[in-house]
Amino acid sequence: MYKILTLNNISVKGLERLPREKYEISSDTSSPDAVMLRSFKMHDMEIPETVKAIGRAGAGVNNIPVDKMTKRGVPVFNAPGANANAVKELVLAGLLIATRNIYPAMKFAETLEGNDAEVSTAVESGKKNYVGSELHSKTLGVIGLGAIGIRVANAASALGMKVVGYDPLISVENAWKLSRNIQQAMSLDHLFSQCDAISVHVPLLDATKGLVSKERIAMMNDGAIVVNLARGGICDDDAVLAALESGKLSSYVIDFPTSKLLRHPNVIAFPHLGASTGEAEENCAVMVADQVRDFLEDGSIRNSVNFPEAVLPRGGSGSRVTIANANVPNMVGQISAILAKANLNIADLLNKSRGELAYTIIDLDGTIEESALNDLRGIEGVLSVRHLPLKK
Ligand SMILES: NC(=O)c1ccc[n+]([C@@H]2O[C@H](COP(=O)([O-])OP(=O)(O)OC[C@H]3O[C@@H](n4cnc5c(N)ncnc54)[C@H](O)[C@@H]3O)[C@@H](O)[C@H]2O)c1
Ligand SMILES: O=C(O)CC[C@@H](O)C(=O)O
């Protein structure tokens, strides 16, 4: 029986991928094999030594101590792209709410009283206060052209916006998906200096903290809009507030409000709602549950943020052993020597590396004894060793 600790609500459709006869799922288990979560902040949590995998039902992993888990040889999985459409739609909503003054106009409409004729008169005289502008022909800068950024860029282009994108690390796959109408910005300054609006879609990293700065906001067109549905901290909120006061910015659309942002008339704050659709919650939970299950049962690695991709169909007539270790010379040599000493034949072997970490899946003819597993654990640089008996 595998034990799964859930730290947030995970869509039932995802949990159904973990059959009850093999999986015990609980929000208070003490010695879990894996943890599944959404935005729960794990940094201050004591993570039990029994944890072999962490599954983030979403994209961002800044709430998880990924480096600490890497040092323990524990993979962290996420669900790339699974909530991207939901975020894209909320970005478009944010831009439209901002440009068409939808929120204050609705508040005004709520105040109207009287009979139909009186309401109609008030509507026609009041609407001049909420005249907006159109997105068509305006320039949007999209920073980060990953799963969400490319969808936002393509959708904004389809609405008739001019779109400029910036992502020095764009993947070849994502570059193929970008509409040919999207212009490439050569630098962030190049992007900011052309834009009526920008939308950020980068992870929160040291390199992206404060990326939307006072200096860059000053380069934008007057009355510009900043949209941040990525993470708090990517925009310098003080600089944004000062720019709202001066009129340099007309609106700030933010999914991560702080006390100083709340109730500012030009801040359009959502309560971290980007991925909150039934569809996105289900997509994320299903994707991550499948990945965690494949890892626990077969040692397969798909969509990990700290481990290399590693999928090996089951072979051999005995045990499967998986080993995470420092990516240094002669690891496979030392592992093979221990297996040979234990008189075990290697039927199949996959060895992959990613940065400073390497991961090996070995299928054996025969069953490995605990003493040989302990010898593997004793190799300098080995971070974790798992024994996955033959599947019934
Ligand atoms: N509000 C929400 O509910 C919500 C939902 C999903 C994701 N997010 C946030 O959005 C972020 C992006 O999500 P995604 O699914 O598009 O991720 P992704 O990994 O598909 O894309 C991120 C992109 O950012 C690029 N990038 C990284 N550093 C950069 C830099 N310094 N400058 C420019 N580009 C850079 C990468 O190359 C990549 O293409 C997540 O990390 C998460 O923080 C928020
Ligand atoms: O789980 C959520 O509701 C938010 C997820 C989102 O922030 C993400 O990074 O995918």
212 DSSP assignment:
B
Q: Residue 80 Cα, ligand 2 centroid: separation in angstroms?
A: 11
CB 320 within 8 A of CB 294: no
Q: Which ligand is nearest to the CA of 205?
A: 1
Q: With a 6 A CB cut-off, is 60 part of the ligand 2 pocket?
A: yes
pLDDT the model gives residue 11:
97
Interval 286-304 mean pLDDT: 98
**Domain edge (last residue) among 222, 251, 269:** 269
Last residue of a domain, one of 288, 307, 326: 307
In the reported structure, the alpha carbon of residue 205 is separated from the centroid of ligand 2 by a whole-number distance in angstroms of: 16
ipTM score for this prediction:
0.99
Average pLDDT over residues 361-370: 95
Task: Verify whether ligand 1 is closer than 6 Å to residue 208 (CB atom).
Answer: yes
Least distant ligand from the CA of 10: 2
The preferred substitution site among 167, 171, 229, 287 for testing ligand 1, maximizing ligand atoms within 8 Å of CB, is 167
What is the pLDDT, as a whole number, of residue 381? Answer: 98
pLDDT, tens digit (0-9, with 9 covering 90-100), for 100-112: 999 999 999 999 9
Are both 219 and 354 inside the same structural domain? no
Give the domain extent around 218.
84-269
Instruction: Tell whether 241 and 93 lie within a shared domain.
Output: yes
Whichever domain contains 334, its CATH number is 3.30.70.260
Q: Which atom of ligand 2 is nearest the CA belonging to 61?
A: 9
Q: Are 77 and 54 in contact (CB under 8 A)?
A: yes
Cβ atoms of 66 and 305 within 8 Å: the answer is yes
Any idea which ligand is nearest the CA of 149?
A: 1
Check whether residue 217 and residue 113 sit in a common domain.
yes
Name the nearest CA neighbour of 75 among 54, 56, 47: 54
Q: At what angle do helices 370-377 and 331-341 cross, to 10 degrees?
A: 160
Q: What is the pLDDT of residues 264-291, one digit of tens each?
A: 999 999 999 999 999 999 999 999 999 9
**Any ligand 1 atom below 6 A from CB of 126:** no
Confidence of residue 310 (pLDDT cuts 50, 70, 90): very high
75 lines ligand 2 (CB under 6 A): no
Is 314 found in the same domain as 259? no
**Distance between Cα 74 and ligand 1 center (Å):** 23
- Pick from 384, 286, 220: which is nearest to 17 by CA? 286
What is the average per-residue pLDDT within 26-32? Answer: 93
Helix axes 84-99, 102-111, angle to 10 degrees: 60
Assess whether the C-beta atom of 169 lies below 6 angstroms from ligand 1: yes
Q: What's the order of all strands across the beta sheet hosting 162-166?
A: 183-184, 162-166, 139-143, 197-200, 224-228, 249-254, 267-269
From 201, 212, 272, the mutation candidate for ligand 1 (largest count of ligand atoms within 8 A of CB) is 201
Alpha carbons 390 and 204: distance in angstroms, whole number: 41
Count of domains forming the chain? 3
Domain boundary at 269, 287, 321, which?
269
Residues 105 and 239 in one domain: yes
Whole-number percent of the chain with pLDDT over 70: 100
Domain shared by 97 and 69, yes or no? no
- 227 and 200 Cβ atoms separated by less than 8 Å: yes
Q: CB under 8 Å to 221, separation ≥6 — which residues?
A: 139, 194, 195, 196
- Residues 316/363, Cβ–Cβ less than 8 Å: yes
User: 200 C-alpha vs ligand 1 centroid, how far in Å?
Assistant: 8
Helices (H), 164-305: 172-177, 188-192, 214-219, 237-246, 278-298
Q: Give the C-alpha separation, 259 to 139, whole Å.
A: 30
Amino acid letter, 201: H
Same domain for 328 and 349, yes or no, is: yes
Mean pLDDT computed over 176-185:
97
Query: Judging by DSSP bridges, how do beta strands 23-26 and 2-6 pair with one another?
Result: parallel
pLDDT band at 316 (very low <50, low <70, confident <90, very high): confident
Pick the residue whose CA is nearest to atom 7 on ligand 2.
Answer: 60
Question: Model's pTM, two decimal places?
Answer: 0.96
- 83 C-beta closer than 6 A to ligand 2: yes
Counting ligands in written order, which one lies closest to the CA of residue 281? 2
Burial class (CB in 10 A: 0-12, 13-18, 19+), 240: buried
The pLDDT tens digits for 181-203 are: 999 999 999 999 999 999 999 99
In this predicted structure, the answer to whether residue 392 has a pLDDT above a threshold of 70 is: no
Mean pLDDT of all residues belonging to the chain: 97
99 shares its domain with 229: yes
Name which of 96, 146, 85, 54 is nearest 278 in CA terms. 85
CB-facing half-sphere around the CA of 205: CA atoms within 13 A: 9
In this structure, the answer to whether residues 63 and 15 fall within a common structural domain is yes
The finding on whether 229 has its CB within 6 A of some atom of ligand 2 is no
Ligand at shortest distance from the CA of 256: 1
pLDDT class of 64 with cuts at 50, 70, 90: very high
Is the pLDDT score of 391 beyond 80?
no
**The token pair that represents 295 in the structure block:** 């890892």
Q: Is the pLDDT of residue 326 over 90?
A: yes
- Same domain as 99, residue 207: yes
CATH of the domain at 173: 3.40.50.720
Strands of the chain, DSSP E: 2-6, 23-26, 34-37, 53-56, 76-77, 139-143, 162-166, 183-184, 197-200, 224-228, 249-254, 267-269, 320-326, 345-354, 357-365, 382-388
- Pair 13, 96 in one domain: no
Say whether both 121 and 257 belong to one domain.
Answer: yes
Q: Tell which one of 6, 36, 38, 205 to mutate to probe ligand 2, the residue whose CB is within 8 A of the most ligand atoms.
A: 38
